[in-house]
Structure 1
Amino acid sequence: MLGVHLKSGCNSGNAPTDRDCPVLFSQLPVLERWIDARAGEGYAFAVLGDWNRRIAARGDAFYSEIDDGDPVGADLDIAGDGRAAACKARYREFIDHIVTGAVATSLVQPGSFDEYRYGLPEAQHPSDHCPVSVTFRL
């Protein structure tokens, strides 16, 4: 598993005039090399954490680059894909993600994706992020 906290401020698109997008996209080759190495070794792997990006959005430029299926096993899956985020009322898309390679995807317990929402009014949340999780069958 690789924990990430990618550059904030470029949650969608790739505006070269936005000072945050070039920084985020400069992180992409490092992440892709790690993913490709794990897939090439045949490992079950996951990349999880604060992506600071709406990678589940259709055609996201950042995610499209890393989800190229090359090498074999590097075909990626976003846990909870298709679910709306519920942590903050004004944000309906996740920026915290669990992304799994093909082997790890086969080990995810179906329906196990969860978003922990603290059980408190939004103004009392201890963070502006809510943790996400899945259960792996081992």
Structure 2
Amino acid sequence: MHPRPSLLWMLGRVVLFLCVCLPTEVQAHPLKITTWNLDWLTDRPSDDPDLPADIPHRSDHDRERLRHYAQKLNSDIIALQEVDDTLSAEHLFDPSLYSVIMIPDPIVQRVGLAIRRPLNVTLNPELSALDVSRPHAQHHLRAGLDVTLHDGDASLRLLVVHLKAGCWERPLAERKHSCPTLYQQFHIIENWILDRQDDGMPFVILGDFNRRLVPNDPLMKQLNSDASLTLTTAGYASPCRGGKRFIDHIILGNSAQNWLIPDSLRVMTYRDDRSQKGLSDHCPVSVKLSLP
């Protein structure tokens, strides 16, 4: 007959089992950050004088399809471009799950954020300097939405942008095709980055840059001349644009570069639909960060 183990021996085995099986430290939950241009998302009637004639006019079914992809995206932070107002965004992002912030520009194509609850952000002054239009211009450019995300002990500054279209890959010396305007906007972003260098805050700049940025692009080199940055889309082509380089980007700076989870760049395409009509001419672009 084998001897029965003592109670103390059995308790010791349980303690040893727990020590071996439990992780030595709690792993941070990855934070999924996305940028998504929603291509003139508005509830206005098609004859609204502020709407161009050639934009998509969506049916209720189209909005449900977009809502499906927003749910499938399952992101924590979504930078929005070309959204008219909060209500338009809330058609896609359930208000019980997300809080929505829109910049108060008097234009249809506004930028904003959808933030998964219970994450919270502090609003910073908008980067109104990005609207380099003349004061009495008929069409104004978008300001930048500037917020600070608080997640436990970590803080992260986010700047959401939608820059001037028309200078996707033209040379720096080009004086037409919207290039001078885009160059001005990049200079303003450069100054914003310098401020983050001074305060040491981890940061993300994300949105529609309307530029096929790569590390050796003159505009990207200009930003990198003042700070070490991570262009998360570098070296990749967009499956949403037939293999062309990205114009939607997520740029990381300061210690946020160390939080990037390797190989986490993703593009969600509209595979559940035979036709992209009624959806968007941009696909959501995402990365994951592991905040300390």
**One fold, TM greater than 0.5?**
yes
Report % sequence identity. Answer: 38
One-letter amino acid matched to 2:266: D
CA distance in 2, matches of 1:87, 1:20: 24
Count of residue correspondences? 132
Pair 1:86 & 2:244 matched = no
Tell me, which stretches of 5 or more residues in structure 2 are unaligned? 1-157
One-letter amino acid matched to 1:133: S
Larger RCO (CA within 8 A; separation ≥ 6):
1
Give runs of ≥4 in structure 1 deviating > 6 Å.
Answer: none
Tell me if structure 2 keeps the 8 A contact 1:118–1:125: no
CA distance in 2, matches of 1:65, 1:23: 15
CA distance in 2, matches of 1:75, 1:28: 16
Tell me if structure 1 keeps the 8 A contact 2:261–2:290: yes
Query: TM (normalized to structure 2)?
Result: 0.43
Q: Give the equivalent residue in structure 2 for 1:39.
A: 197
Larger radius of gyration: 2
Quick one: structure 1 residues 96 and 42, their matched pair in 2 at CA, closer, same or farther if it must change by over 3 Å? same
Tell me if structure 1 keeps the 8 A contact 2:162–2:208: yes
Tell me, which stretches of 5 or more residues in structure 1 are unaligned? none
Greater strand share, structure number: 2
Pick the aligned partner of 1:2 from 159, 173, 186.
159
One-letter amino acid matched to 2:233: G
Quick one: structure 1 residues 125 and 61, their matched pair in 2 at CA, closer, same or farther if it must change by over 3 Å? farther
CA distance in 2, matches of 1:44, 1:122: 40
Pair 1:28 & 2:203 matched = no
Tell me if structure 2 keeps the 8 A contact 1:77–1:102: no
Summarize deviations over 1:56-89 as a string: whole Å, max 9, x none: 1x52111111111x3xxx2011113212110022
Summarize deviations over 1:26-68 as a string: whole Å, max 9, x none: 1122100111111221111010000000111x52111111111
Summarize deviations over 1:102-137 as a string: whole Å, max 9, x none: 311100111111111122346436111111111110
Query: TM (normalized to structure 1)?
Result: 0.87
Pair 1:100 & 2:252 matched = yes
Q: CA RMSD in A?
A: 1.7
Tell me if structure 2 keeps the 8 A contact 1:108–1:137: yes
CA distance in 1, matches of 2:253, 2:175: 32
CA distance in 1, matches of 2:183, 2:205: 16
